[in-house]
Structure 1
């Protein structure tokens, strides 16, 4: 196993890709990591993998986690290591030296237990993926090595010695003294025994949490100082042990836990959708340009609908031999933009090595995902909307190549229909000439017949997108909507004046 962990380690820092907002991947990632403050997983969802072998290795680990027993064991590892990390951090923040050392020793003992538990759990689960098998091999060698064995033995022995320190406290006014325990009676047990005789039937317990304030911490520290005086040799050995082991955890442990948290976050997010009957699949990585996504859907929209007791529409996105671009027309509010976003999301999620929405999905790992969605006028802009759009599209075309995925949504709608048709034609031909895989949403039906490499899709008001010849209705509906002449707009005005 390499130092990188199970598979390519998720990025710790990464800027948000340009296409994230257009595809609403920023909102999707925020929803996936909600409630998971540590570690920060947002950068992990931003960086695509670009080579097939690494993506497949990550996919194999995800497939292993379909086993509920293994998933539970690795979730326990993540939770236990997080608690252990908090113990170390609490020790580092504690200024009272004996208490800091006591806390740190407890953290070391917890760490030893975490390693033992996850190694045994992995061995019992017998994972199939190369990543988890390699990690198990690494864990077994690490646990059997002299460094960990010595760490575990000394930490456990010192913790046992501390546990064997028994003492009594004598309180006289404001004076508190400590002395070794000499077999005195347990007065608390006697008090409980006295009151037990007055118990009747069992009653509901009334419990509350008593939070220790700074005063209690100071008193605890003062008592601990007295105990140190009773057994100075034990605390000296604890100090020397901790000084000899300023760090105990190899960096790979934290990397693997972060990788697992990344995968578990996605599996937890899609679990309600799977329970509602929506399919997720391991995408096949095919040759450049091939796209077959059957029964796919927008994950973020589906999550909202399922939470409300509804089901999203599912659609197919297919590019066959010699086909390179999907051109989608149809009425407004028919799901055209959602469909285009879904295709873009598929490529990103597949390049993360994660299960993607759909019954069966085949696509390639893109070297670039390029998007263009219309932006409204913004205060402070020194250029017109059309000029800004032309500049952005021109910049996109300089980066497009054969392995690129391009998602275009209603370009140049702020100009006249004739100019928009001409400009769209030029852009689509440039994308086709670059041999990129593309999706284009437009109200200009003629674009769907521009080239034999284009597949015409038509959306309806039931959010279904199907292969069909554009019939001209999309542009008519777009014009009617622009001037407030759709059936719904007219009915609303008539009813308002009735």
Structure 2
């Protein structure tokens, strides 16, 4: 049967290493939060691998929309849970020291697998599936359950389990010797229950039900060796079944269970935001290089605030020129705002909902970031040199369809040098034709054509609002940075007076 994927419409090379921009955008933390409860699955490479065309993204959107339907997600989740049980039986089979326990666990794994597949293929008939990906999987199940090999496997496993349950034998314990003989054993179950019920009349707990376990000890293993001599044909069939069906799990089903966790992990993660009235939306893709986002927020910051029942400030962003320059006082939310825009660009590229109320965005071919990294700072010279090397790498690799995000570049050098270098960088970016968002204090950059300015607001009491608005610079950004640097803000002065 042909292989297919519910993550990739066409064969795609999976990226195994974390992209460099993850660290700058806190995406490393966010992805760790998303996959936290899915450690059984290797999901991170799916988050490292972005999609390059809208058709592939819409393929994921449709599946995600289907799985947002509780009726569909509950059924698929239950199926995945059953397959997890199958894997647990196989693990126990591999870890056992006793031949019969190994074979019993394996037989149970096969029976559970076949039952789960049959049930899902049947119940899918009544599910209102709309996505192409799940429809393909449903069609696969219909064909798979009619496949001769699967039908034979299911029938053989079910009949073998019945034959084993029919086995009856007597055990005689005498002088530390165990004798096993064929025949119907006398059933003392009801007599034992009657005796124990007299002892437990005053207790609330129910003791008259017993849990069947496939685990055996060394004594039971020895008994089964003797039983095998009484019923050699059944145990030969069991051994042959074990040896001949080691690869009974279809790779498409195994891959489906693994890949669908990508969607479930994300949906489980964003539930905590939605419970706090923080919304995610499906992005709309534009043909021109524009960005229009309403109520965008930084996912990592919002996640931290939800734990203390607080909400982060959401912002709007409309960019119709090639360069957006964001200014404002220190700790006014500029870097957080910058991250939130880039996070929307990233999540739109992996076919998931984005952290905003509305998002009309261009499908960028790549995301490039430059944020200050304290761990490489040893001297002013090495820091400036590092900045230049990293930016050169960005400019060498970015295309006219790339998004570049720069956060306070050249802060290690003088204002005039930083201004000169920044102007040269902007000219190169404009020549390439890509989009760029820059956080800076240098208001002179706003005088360059094809740039537009955004400012982090402060209220009449000089308090930060964390709102970023589109307007011309007011001359306060750099002044506020100097005031903050020398601890002359209103808060600093209050502390000194105390």
Question: TM-score, normalized by length of structure 1?
Answer: 0.92
Q: Secondary structure at the match of 2:424?
A: helix
Confirm or deny: 8 A CA contact 2:37 2:265 kept in the other structure.
no
Confirm or deny: 8 A CA contact 1:325 1:453 kept in the other structure.
yes
Aligned to 1:164: 166
Partners of 1:353 and 1:387 lie apart in 2 by: 37
Aligned to 1:177: 179
Confirm or deny: 8 A CA contact 1:11 1:43 kept in the other structure.
no
The Cα shift of 1:116 comes to 1.3
CA deviations 1:414-456 (Å, max 9, x no partner) are: 1111111111111122222211122111111222332234343
Q: Structure 1 residues 405-414 or 36-45, which shifts more?
A: 36-45
Alpha-carbon distance change, 475 to 2 in structure 1, aligned in 2, over 3 angstroms:
farther
TM-align CA RMSD: 2.5
Return 5+ residue gaps in structure 1 as ranges: none
Alpha-carbon distance change, 185 to 96 in structure 1, aligned in 2, over 3 angstroms:
closer
Aligned to 1:190: 191
Partners of 2:233 and 2:379 lie apart in 1 by: 72
Alpha-carbon distance change, 296 to 377 in structure 1, aligned in 2, over 3 angstroms:
closer
Alpha-carbon distance change, 192 to 244 in structure 1, aligned in 2, over 3 angstroms:
closer
Confirm or deny: 8 A CA contact 2:170 2:185 kept in the other structure.
no
Q: Secondary structure at the match of 1:405?
A: strand
Partners of 1:366 and 1:251 lie apart in 2 by: 33
Q: Secondary structure at the match of 2:397?
A: coil
Partners of 2:156 and 2:198 lie apart in 1 by: 46
Aligned to 1:302: 302
The Cα shift of 1:312 comes to 1.4
The Cα shift of 1:386 comes to 1.2
The alignment status of 1:79 with 2:81, answered yes or no, reads yes
CA deviations 1:159-213 (Å, max 9, x no partner) are: 1111111233332343223233424141x42132134345544435799xx9x9x
Aligned to 1:464: 467
The alignment status of 1:362 with 2:349, answered yes or no, reads no
Task: Pick the aligned partner of 2:134 from 132, 135, 154.
Answer: 132
Partners of 1:223 and 1:358 lie apart in 2 by: 65
Aligned to 2:372: 374
Partners of 2:416 and 2:354 lie apart in 1 by: 39
Aligned to 1:150: 152
Aligned to 2:328: 330
| 1:293-442 mapped onto 2 (5 Å cutoff) | 293-320=293-320, 323-378=321-376, 384-442=382-440
Alpha-carbon distance change, 307 to 206 in structure 1, aligned in 2, over 3 angstroms:
farther
Confirm or deny: 8 A CA contact 1:166 1:180 kept in the other structure.
yes
CA deviations 1:220-261 (Å, max 9, x no partner) are: 322322322221110101222233323112211121112210
Question: TM-score, normalized by length of structure 2?
Answer: 0.92
Q: Structure 1 residues 311-320 or 263-272, which shifts more?
A: 311-320
Alpha-carbon distance change, 230 to 260 in structure 1, aligned in 2, over 3 angstroms:
same
Partners of 1:397 and 1:121 lie apart in 2 by: 53
Confirm or deny: 8 A CA contact 2:293 2:316 kept in the other structure.
yes
The alignment status of 1:89 with 2:86, answered yes or no, reads no
**How many pairs are equivalent?**
488
The Cα shift of 1:288 comes to 4.5
Q: Structure 1 residues 397-406 or 479-488, which shifts more?
A: 479-488
Q: Structure 1 residues 481-490 or 288-297, which shifts more?
A: 481-490
Partners of 2:181 and 2:311 lie apart in 1 by: 70
